[in-house]
Amino acid sequence: MDAKDILGLPKSTHPASQEKKSRPLKESQRKPDGISREVYALTGGVPPLMPAVEPLQLKKRPPTDEKITWQWLPFTSSARKDNLQLYHWVIVVNGIPPTGDYSFAKYNKSVDVVKYTDEEYEKHLTDDMWTKEETDQLFELCQQFDLRFIVIADRFSSSRTVEELKERYYKVSRSILIARAAAFPGNISEHPIVKEPYKFTQERDRKRALSMVLSQTKHQERKDYEVLAEAKRIAESHMAARNAKESELLVTFTMDSERAIVFGETLSPPSNSEFAPAMVAHSTSMAENASTLVSLRMLRVYLRTYALDQMIQAASSSAGLRTIKRVEQSLQELGVNLKPRVPTKAVCAQHLDLRKEILTLLNLQKQLQHKEAEGTSYHDGPYETPGTPKDRTFVPDSTSFGGEVLGDRVGKRDQKRKALGRAEAPSLPAQSKRPRKLRASDL
Amino acid sequence: MSVRKAGESEPPQPEEGGSSAQLSQPVRTSKPAEDGDKKSTNKRLKDVDICVPIVYGTVAFYLGRKASESQSHKWTVYVRGATNEDLGVVVKRVIFQLHPSFNNPMRVIDSPPFELTECGWGEFEIAISLFFHNDVCERQLDLYHHLKLYTEDESGPQSTKKPVVVESYNEIVFPDPLEACFARLQNHPAVIVPRLPAGFNLPNPVSIDQKNDKERGDTKDHPLSQWFLNFSEADELLKLAAARQEVQAHIVNVRRKLSMLDGPPQLSKPPSGYEYA
């Protein structure tokens, strides 16, 4: 049908009349004023309900009294040194053409490239790697291209790298400046070329490194990050190991099974991010331990209780006030004096170790809480029941601590409860997740 | 009893002719304050601690009928060796700083037993400053003790027979002592020293002047010794060990739970073969 349209062939009367009818109908629909057809179609083909801004009004300008005409006139530019006559359209207001220099002439900036005489070249600038012709050509290009070295390198006759060209240029400029300043005394030490000489090797390496970084793929980037994190972890563990050894010599730390568990678990799965933070925290606290011991040895005399306090402070330096309170609460629950009654060397060592272990336990419990909070966010909240009685395998322990009976989830309220009794509360939702019976929500 | 003239406060003199030749350093002179000159004659034993366990405190008796408004109690403040050995080998002088309402509140005791008895009515904090022999330490050590005259339960009349006793145990540690000091003290019962590795050459220890019985410095048969408290570390060690075991067990539990949460990748479906029996 369209082909016939295009060819202008007569169609059968019936469809033709129909088309004729529809076409003018459509045509009238298609002709909005002021805006193009496609734009009008964006509105959905119908005029907007709101009275839109009249398109015709938009292009109107405020009426002005001045008589404005445009004229094709010649002009001169201070940027041109030849006498080429150029023409352009100029707005003429009330018969007066504009005055002044060509408006773009002010952008014609150039660099002051040093110009040396042949004598100066003989005296200061000879070089094994560069002939005079090359140097002359270099400077000519520098002048011509305003020190755009990439272009200069491209135009340069022999193939020199950008860094080589730069080095030659800056060296020559520097020597000339210094030589001339020696002749006419003047302070040029502030001149940027003199103050900061061009370093060829540094530039080359910098650019190489930059290009390497830019061309890294995403995969490579991730790998690098992981390797750096790993290296940091290893470095910290080395420091911790060294400090641990140091402190073992100074104070008797008993290596019990718990410590073996701590180190064994943390060292074997290196990529396990769970233990890594604990390990790092452990190592930093050991470092502080070691430094406390060192500072104690600097004293000529001290009390055992003072030493214990310092070590406790060092060990809890990473813990907040609330955590420290919880540690003290736990000590009380365990029936241990906050300050030992008989602070002998052995007692103090045990006391310190106990505090550290309590800290470890509290950190682990916090981790567990977080892990479970994470896990529970995937489940339907209202359908989860906190542990049913048959799931509670830890009740004996918690009651022995006098901790309250549990049932709620991790929440702010937990923090007001007794320290170790709370150990069991978060575990229950985890347990109840496992043997979950099929519920209507699962279907 | 308050102030005594210097008795054995002088550092032990090399009386015997033979030993003085072998002494590598003059014990009498004050040693240089800087630590830097290790090559000097005052050599120190690195990573060695001399430990002196002490007990300090007060024993206060109600005077009963003899009590007056201003003097209701008779009390004694003291510093003694934890095993009641003579502290004079280490301590040169003790100064007890009393409440300013006392006459001459600064009481200096130059020889053991380092104690002071007074009468009064009020409770206050006593500052106890220990000064050591020159070869032991040039710096003083300060302790503080609150004088307690009244018991907690104010029920009933105060007894004149049973005193109010408050004692604190502590240990004075001298790190990196001078060789001569170590040599002098290593066999004394008031002092705990570590065993040195075999083949360690120390200057010959200089024996201390034998005191006559009247001026014994130990407190083994002290008139107040029946009130001295017992400080045994065994009790505390037991309690600490038990506590540590409990905490360690909890740690193992929590670690287990953590690893189970991490191990099998689970979200909403329970794992097919999970760990719970």
Q: For residue A240, what are the domain limits?
A: 223-252
CA A198 distance to own-chain centroid: 31
Q: How far apart are the C-alpha atoms of B73 and B60, rounded to whole Å?
A: 6
Radius of gyration of chain A (CA): 42
pLDDT above 70 as % of chain A: 68
- For the ranges A60-69, A70-79, B212-221, the lowest mean pLDDT is seen at B212-221
Return the closest-CA partner of residue B254 out of A430, A216, A399, A304. Answer: A430
Tell me A96's DSSP state. Answer: B
- Of A19-28, A215-224, B232-241, highest mean pLDDT: B232-241
Task: Look at residue B165 and tell me if it is in a domain.
Answer: yes
Can you give the pLDDT at residue B96?
96
Q: For residue B184, what are the domain limits?
A: 49-196
Tokens in use for A51? 């009275």
Residue of A nearest to B48 (CA): A250
Q: Which residues of B touch A403 (CB under 8 A)?
A: none
Task: Look at residue B218 and tell me if it is in a domain.
Answer: no
Residue A46 has pLDDT above 90, yes or no: no
Number of domains in chain A: 4
What CATH number corresponds to the domain at position B71?
2.60.40.1970
pLDDT band of residue A12 (cuts 50, 70, 90) is: low
- For the ranges A225-229, A254-258, B163-167, B233-237, the lowest mean pLDDT is seen at A254-258
A125 and A209 part of one domain: yes
A101 and A124 part of one domain: no
Q: What is the pLDDT of residues B185-227, one digit of tens each?
A: 888 999 998 887 766 666 666 655 544 445 788 888 899 999 9
CB contact (8 A) between residue B233 and residue A303: no
Classify each residue of A132-167 as buried b or exposed e, where b means 16 or more C-beta atoms within 10 Å of its C-beta.
eebbebbbebbeebeeebeebbeebeeebebbbbbb
What part of B 50-79 touches A (C-beta under 8 Å)?
Answer: 51, 53
Q: How far apart are the C-alpha atoms of B71 and A358, rounded to whole Å?
A: 49
Q: How far apart are the C-alpha atoms of B171 and B169, rounded to whole Å?
A: 7
CB contact (8 A) between residue B258 and residue A334: no
Could you tell me the sign of the dihedral formed by the alpha carbons of A323, A327, A333, A338, in that order?
Answer: negative
A199 and A134 part of one domain: yes
Widest pairwise Cα distance in chain A:
121
Pick A368's closest partner by Cβ from B53, B172, B258: B258
CA angle B146, B149, B150 (to 5 degrees): 115
CB contact (8 A) between residue B243 and residue A372: no
Task: Look at residue B156 and tell me if it is in a domain.
Answer: yes
DSSP bridge partners of A405: none
DSSP for A133-198, written as a single string: HHHHHHHHHHHHHTT-HHHHHHH-SS---HHHHHHHHHHHHHHHHHHHHHHTT---TTSHHHHS--
Cβ pairs bridging A and B (under 8 Å): 146
**Chain A: closest CA distance from residue B270 (Å):** 5
Instruction: Tell me what ipTM this predicted complex has.
Output: 0.77
A196 and A246 part of one domain: no
CB contact (8 A) between residue A423 and residue B261: no
Which H or E run contains B153? none
Return the closest-CA partner of residue B169 out of B89, B238, B93, B80. Answer: B80
Q: How far apart are the C-alpha atoms of B92 and B136, rounded to whole Å?
A: 10
Tell me B213's DSSP state. Answer: G
pLDDT higher at A115 or A24: A115
**Chain B: closest CA distance from residue A256 (Å):** 10
Task: Look at residue A158 and tell me if it is in a domain.
Answer: yes
Task: Look at residue A428 and tell me if it is in a domain.
Answer: no
Can you give the pLDDT at residue A96?
78
pLDDT higher at A32 or A174: A174
pLDDT band of residue A325 (cuts 50, 70, 90) is: very high
Residue of A nearest to B273 (CA): A434
**Chain B: closest CA distance from residue A412 (Å):** 20
Q: What is the pLDDT of residues B254-266, one digit of tens each?
A: 999 888 887 665 5
Q: What is the pLDDT of residues A327-347, one digit of tens each?
A: 999 999 999 999 999 999 999
CB contact (8 A) between residue B247 and residue A361: yes
For A364, B90, B196, the CA distances from B188, given in Å and listed in that order, are 47, 10, 15
Can you give the pLDDT at residue A400?
40
State the pTM of this model. 0.48
Domain boundary among A375, A404, A420: A375
Q: Is B200 touching A (CB cutoff 8 A)?
A: no
Residue linked to tokens 């302070």: A187
Task: Look at residue A86 and tell me if it is in a domain.
Answer: yes
Q: Is A303:B141 a contact under the CB 8 Å cutoff? A: yes
Can you give the pLDDT at residue B186?
87
Could you tell me the sign of the dihedral formed by the alpha carbons of A117, A118, A123, A127, in that order?
Answer: positive
Return the closest-CA partner of residue B54 out of B221, B229, B240, B181. Answer: B229
Tokens in use for B268? 């909403």
**Chain B: closest CA distance from residue A285 (Å):** 19
CB contact (8 A) between residue B51 and residue A394: no
A200 and A131 part of one domain: yes
Residue of B nearest to A348 (CA): B237
What CATH number corresponds to the domain at position A144?
1.10.10.60
- Computed over every residue of chain A, the mean pLDDT equals 75
DSSP for B182-204, written as a single string: HHHHTT-TT-B-PPPPTT---PP
pLDDT higher at A18 or A150: A150
Task: Look at residue B132 and tell me if it is in a domain.
Answer: yes
Residue ranges, chain B, pLDDT below 50 = 1-40, 210-213, 271, 277
Number of domains in chain B: 1
pLDDT band of residue A282 (cuts 50, 70, 90) is: low
DSSP for A341-408, written as a single string: SS--HHHHHHHHHHHHHHHHHHHHHHHHHHHHHHHHTTS-TTTPPP--GGG---HHHHHHTTPPP---
Residue A183 has pLDDT above 70, yes or no: yes
- For the ranges A14-23, A96-105, A120-129, B156-165, the lowest mean pLDDT is seen at A14-23
What part of B 104-163 touches A (C-beta under 8 Å)?
Answer: 132, 137-139, 141, 143
CB contact (8 A) between residue B248 and residue A427: no
Task: Look at residue A100 and tell me if it is in a domain.
Answer: yes
Q: Is B245 touching A (CB cutoff 8 A)?
A: no
Residue of A nearest to B277 (CA): A435
Task: Look at residue A232 and tell me if it is in a domain.
Answer: yes
Can you give the pLDDT at residue A224?
86
Q: Is A317 helix (H, G, I), strand (E, B) or coil?
A: coil
Task: Look at residue A434 and tell me if it is in a domain.
Answer: no
> Among B131, B253, B272, which would you mutate to test the A interface (most chain A Cβ atoms within 10 Å of its Cβ)?
B253
Return the closest-CA partner of residue A425 out of A435, A410, A441. Answer: A410
